[in-house]
Structure 1
Amino acid sequence: MPRPAHHSKFLYRLCALALAAGLAQAQDYQQHAIDGALPVFAPALKARLAFPMAWTPQVKDLPAWRAAGRAKLWEATLQERDDTPFAPQVIATQDRGSYNARQVVFNLTATSRVRALLLVPKAAGPHPAALLLHDHGGRFDIGKEKLIAPWGDAAREAAARTWADKYFSGRMPGDDLARRGYVVLATDALGWGDRGPLTGDGQQALAANFFNLGSSLAGNMALEDVRAASFLASLPEVDKRRVAALGFSMGALRAWQVAALSDAIGAVVAVNWMATTQGLMVPGNNQLCGSSAFQMLHPGLLRHLDFPDVASLAAPKPALFLAGAADPLFPLPSVREAYAKMARVWSAWHAGDKFETRILPGGHAFPREAQDEAYDWLDRRFGGRD
């Protein structure tokens, strides 16, 4: 029996609609996947960052929590334990009044023997000590010389003065601490000073090749800082109970990171590097530009711990964090959020009085007044000057 005409029209329309839906679905594929330096699905990835290993009030065994966090951080560095003898050798000295400056060569790791700058007070020790950790700054011809005045190299002497004028009110932080009676050590991170040459563009290839070699650029820096801390604490002039890590900008990250990883560090001063991942992963932020970010990111770590969570592994050691209210690299609301998160961890250790933060009126710098405040704070924590 023939079908009614209206039935055939209905089937035709149904098929046409199905074909149109199919064509629409076929056209509905990803044709724009990059938004600036981020994938368009970045919000979905950010939403997955729950930081399950972060401290919460449900944590009852703080030492166990810290041990687990430290183990995860070490795992993310892709580094192996290194107990290579330091075998130090002093190759040059300079008298600076109340202290001596030394150029010392030692085995930073099993694969890197480096030249460091070391300042030692002339007075009888043992003395408190400070491991100074230099910044990134996009300038690679100097590293350790950003913090301790060099000698014997006119170009580096001029560069060090320029850097001090730009960020430290014309002062050299290491020399100021030495005048206060501290033994001070500074080394070059890989790519800076003696250990270059590195360029801004070259960082991406260097980081990629570390991964090709089964290692990590950021992890190598973390290991080297831990080793430098151990070397400083091993010196006969040093009071092992009073060793601090102090850093500016990238050096601040290095300071709180080494304080989290190393038992040789007993206190930390971190200037101008702390915020939450959510606060940094926003359009226009320097953290999205590559280059320097390669020095500061461990593969997979942010799936477990945020930056303030890692820094909190240093608790209950005395810690002073400074930030610039107008620092364009670290949005102030994110800085405050990170500080509040860390403060809760120190309080859980019943050490809330050992955790202090300051918001400075300026930008990305460590000016004279902030230096004096930081050094006074360190003196108080270490029981005064010698």
Structure 2
Amino acid sequence: MRPTALGGYDDWPDFVRDASPLTGDELTTRVAELLGVPEPPSAPAVRIVDDWQSDDVHGSLLEWNTPFGPPTRAWLLRPREGSGAALLGLHCHAGVKSIGAERLVETPEPTAGAVRLRSSFYQDRAVANALARAGFVVLCHDTFAWGSRRFGFDPLPWRLRDVMATYEAAWLAADHSPADDEWYDVAAGHHENTIAKAAGLLGTSFAGMVAYDDLVALSVLRGLDGVGPDRIGVFGFSGGGARSATLTALDPGIKASAIVCMMTTFDALLPAYFDAHTWMFTSPGLARHLDFPSLTAGRARHHQLVLYAEDDELFPPQGMLTADRELTEHFHYGPGTYQSIFLPGPHRFDTEMQDLVKTFFESSLMGSVRT
């Protein structure tokens, strides 16, 4: 008998089969149908696992149960003085699934993986803490297949066993002993194809299940004391930017969205660039109905910031320029707004970009913006 290929998620198929599809206004219903997003339940009961205080920010490690798979962990940061404005931070992909949202948060005892990711992409700054110090309530959660919501590989699924045997032979030949997180991230990178395959069989998608977890986290954020229901924004870098666009399309109550280094037309990805991207961004059939700029613009009632890296190795320059032009056209008549900034340099979310995101949210959620 072969081992499960859905370690820790053997209850996922029954959940999807029994779940009702997410519905709402025309756009919500359309996007949810294209991605196969199930209807989330009411906001889950939240448990506080840990608390700490640092740099005028009160931090909490939270946990809640999702109807399938392992429990979700999240980090909540509250400023000493808040304005009611709140942000949902959506972590990137980066080929690292051993940890999730911790890469955005400065915790009392950070893991080595979080420190490495912040060094590689975030210029050694925990962006969630910086935004909390600016007066925002910030919630960052592990989404489907990451961190606390990871899939288990003990024992290894049949196909993945053969893949990892090849890696282990190469490591042995190179006299390299991978740390547990390095081993897991290599395995999880290959396993994403298996998850996408299962999702397709079930009538959903990898992006649809990530969106489901993001909607649940959004309901937790909305239910927090002191959070203004009409002052909620989302932000994400790279794969987190794709999540931000999808979530804003699914939930019309999001007032502001910031996307960093995650914008192009879908056509521009073919034939050379699509292979670099996750299943979160390449859902089968989506491009026949919605291009990424039109998905991002959605109802054009929210305030949208997109930061582009001119030398981004993951996106063709023409795709970024065309997307920028299309977004400008989508938002031309409002009532929302669109702001784009092109910056030289490669794929990253450095402190300059983080400061631009902070200023954008201060204006769109705390200040006066054209409505």
Q: Identify which of 260, 277, 284 aligns with 2:266.
A: 277
- Residue in 2 that maps onto 1:383: 366
Of the two, which has the highest radius of gyration? 1
- Residue ranges of structure 1 left out of the alignment (5+ in a row): 1-65
Q: TM-score, normalised by structure 2?
A: 0.78
- Residue in 1 that maps onto 2:103: 146
- 1:240 is aligned to 2:235: no
Q: Contact between 2:71 and 2:149, CA under 8 Å: does it hold in 1?
A: no
Q: Contact between 1:109 and 1:224, CA under 8 Å: does it hold in 2?
A: no
Change (3 A) 1:261 1:301: same
CA distance in 1, matches of 2:265, 2:251: 23
- 1:192 is aligned to 2:146: yes
- CA apart distance, 1:83: 2.2
CA distance in 2, matches of 1:310, 1:70: 11
Q: 1:67-121, CA deviations, whole angstroms, 9 ceiling, x for partnerless residues?
A: 4333221101213212234111111101113121101112455666311111112
CA distance in 2, matches of 1:111, 1:196: 9
Q: Which one-letter code corresponds to 2:268 in the other structure?
A: G
Identity %: 28
Q: Contact between 2:59 and 2:76, CA under 8 Å: does it hold in 1?
A: yes
CA distance in 2, matches of 1:378, 1:101: 21
Q: Contact between 1:120 and 1:237, CA under 8 Å: does it hold in 2?
A: no
- Residue in 2 that maps onto 1:76: 34
CA distance in 1, matches of 2:234, 2:225: 18
Q: Contact between 2:46 and 2:62, CA under 8 Å: does it hold in 1?
A: yes
Partner-residue secondary structure (3-state), 2:48: strand
CA distance in 2, matches of 1:69, 1:263: 9
- CA apart distance, 1:192: 1.6
CA distance in 2, matches of 1:300, 1:117: 34
Paired positions, count:
310
- Residue in 2 that maps onto 1:94: 52
- CA apart distance, 1:223: 1.7
Q: TM-score, normalised by structure 1?
A: 0.75
- Residue in 1 that maps onto 2:120: 166
- Residue in 1 that maps onto 2:168: none
Change (3 A) 1:355 1:371: same
- Residue ranges of structure 2 left out of the alignment (5+ in a row): 1-23, 152-186
- CA apart distance, 1:186: 0.8
- CA apart distance, 1:165: 1.4
Q: Identify which of 156, 177, 182 aligns with 2:131.
A: 177
Q: Contact between 2:85 and 2:136, CA under 8 Å: does it hold in 1?
A: yes
- CA apart distance, 1:142: 1.5
Partner-residue secondary structure (3-state), 1:257: helix
- Residue in 1 that maps onto 2:163: none
Q: Contact between 2:300 and 2:335, CA under 8 Å: does it hold in 1?
A: no
Q: Contact between 2:77 and 2:137, CA under 8 Å: does it hold in 1?
A: yes
